[in-house]
Structure 1
Amino acid sequence: MARKTGSHSEITGPRVRDAALRLFARHGFAAVSMRQIASEVGVQAGALYLYTKDKQSLLFDLMKSHMEELLEAWVAEPKGGSATERLEAFTRFHIRFHLDRPDAVFIAYMELRNLEPDNFAKIEQLRRRYEDGLEDILRAGAEAGAFTVPDTKLATWAVIAMLTGVNTWYREGGRLSPDRIEAIYWDMVRRSVGA
């Protein structure tokens, strides 16, 4: 079949990813067909295979891109020197980064179960790198006597779960501004580690 007039890979490829992201977040990976994605983009279903191998590859690519962007942004984030300053930087960064990406966050956490084993292992490795950064902060704070954390791994998971939970209720234009949310959550995180 000939390429649709006006279809260009640098335009259509991102549109395929955006449509898949929205549909997976709204309906769940298992409920979305390649035909639905194609319809959303305005191309024939067969044309999608010019941009992705299959639906699994598309899901993996969305998750991998999200995690790589997250890690890259965290590396570039100013962090401060003390463990407390670094924990505050992490808290504020995590909220700020994720508030703008609710669909990507939903997919990154809720669709892990739909990844094939090899893809799951790759995403899990990226997630572990991010979690390890927070655990290093918590461990340094505990060793310096700034935090009271009986188990740094468990505290890492708890803090990330609490921070990521913002995406379940936050709506732009709601009663709390992103800055106010960051401040409140920083206070809760600080107290949760005994700082």
Structure 2
Amino acid sequence: MARTTGSHSDITGPRVQSAALTLFARHGYAAVSMRQIARLVGVQAGALYNYTTDKQSLLFDLLKGHMDDLLTAHAALPQSATPQLQLEAFTRFHIRFHLERPEAVFISYMELRNLTPDNFSAIEDLRRQYERELETILENGRNTGAFDIADIKITALAIIAMLTGVNTWYRSGGRLSLDEIENIYWHMVRKSVT
């Protein structure tokens, strides 16, 4: 199939993903058609198949890309010496990373149910990998006596849910700065494990 005159795969491919992300976040995966995505990109519907196999592949690629970016960014953080400092770094990182990607966060939670079983399993594996990074911090803190935690898995899930929740209500220019929000959340996370 010939490419549309003036289109470039390195430009159009990311535009397809960006359009799908926007439409999935705004209307939900099930309500969005490939024609709508093509219209937003400015190409014929058939041209989308030069960049993706189908709508399911688009959703999977978006969710996987988000998780890959999250894991890569977290791995690049400087390593802190103590579990307390590691937990603080995790708290601040999680808030900032997710605030910069509201649409990706939204579909990562709301559209999991629309993945095929194999795709769901692949994304769940990546999510568990990220959860395990927090669980390791919590376990090290419990082992050194720095943290008092009854159940590491439940504590990790609760912390992640609390931190991700900032994304639903925080607005730049609000009553508190992002630094102040981070400090408040770090205080709540610290109190929950000590």
Same fold (TM over 0.5): yes
Quick check: 1:135–1:153 contact (8 Å CA) kept in 2? yes
Give the count of matched residue pairs: 194
> What's 1:127 paired with?
127
Supply the distance in 2 between the matched residues of 1:147 and 1:167 (Cα, whole angstroms): 27
Supply the distance in 1 between the matched residues of 2:55 and 2:61 (Cα, whole angstroms): 10
Supply the distance in 1 between the matched residues of 2:143 and 2:193 (Cα, whole angstroms): 13
How far did residue 179 of structure 1 move?
1.4
The residue identity in structure 1 corresponding to 2:120 is: F
> What's 1:75 paired with?
75
How far did residue 24 of structure 1 move?
0.5
Supply the distance in 1 between the matched residues of 2:180 and 2:51 (Cα, whole angstroms): 41
Alpha-carbon spacing, 1:110–1:156, altered in 2? closer, same or farther (3 Å): same
How far did residue 109 of structure 1 move?
1.1
The residue identity in structure 2 corresponding to 1:135 is: E
Note the alpha carbon deviations across 1:70-114, whole angstroms, 9 max, x for none: 000101012311110100000000011111000011111111111
How far did residue 2 of structure 1 move?
5.0
Aligned positions of 1:93-112 closer than 5 A? 93-112=93-112
Structure 1 segments, 4+ long, off by >4 Å, are none
> What's 1:164 paired with?
164
Aligned positions of 1:9-158 closer than 5 A? 9-158=9-158
Supply the distance in 2 between the matched residues of 1:193 and 1:89 (Cα, whole angstroms): 15
The residue identity in structure 2 corresponding to 1:57 is: S
Supply the distance in 1 between the matched residues of 2:144 and 2:173 (Cα, whole angstroms): 40
The residue identity in structure 1 corresponding to 2:151 is: D
Percent identity over the alignment is 70
Supply the distance in 2 between the matched residues of 1:173 and 1:111 (Cα, whole angstroms): 29
Supply the distance in 1 between the matched residues of 2:40 and 2:61 (Cα, whole angstroms): 19
Quick check: 1:95–1:182 contact (8 Å CA) kept in 2? yes
The residue identity in structure 2 corresponding to 1:21 is: L
Quick check: 2:83–2:138 contact (8 Å CA) kept in 1? yes
Quick check: 2:4–2:47 contact (8 Å CA) kept in 1? no
Give structure 1 stretches of 5+ with no counterpart.
none
Give structure 2 stretches of 5+ with no counterpart.
none
Supply the distance in 1 between the matched residues of 2:144 and 2:138 (Cα, whole angstroms): 10
Quick check: 1:38–1:45 contact (8 Å CA) kept in 2? yes
- Structure 2 length-normalised TM: 0.97
- Structure 1 length-normalised TM: 0.96
Supply the distance in 2 between the matched residues of 1:157 and 1:49 (Cα, whole angstroms): 38
Residue 58 of structure 1 aligns to a residue in which SS? helix
Alpha-carbon spacing, 1:75–1:47, altered in 2? closer, same or farther (3 Å): same
- RMSD over aligned Cα atoms: 1.1
Quick check: 1:79–1:90 contact (8 Å CA) kept in 2? no
Residue 7 of structure 2 aligns to a residue in which SS? coil
Quick check: 1:84–1:146 contact (8 Å CA) kept in 2? yes
Quick check: 2:66–2:104 contact (8 Å CA) kept in 1? yes
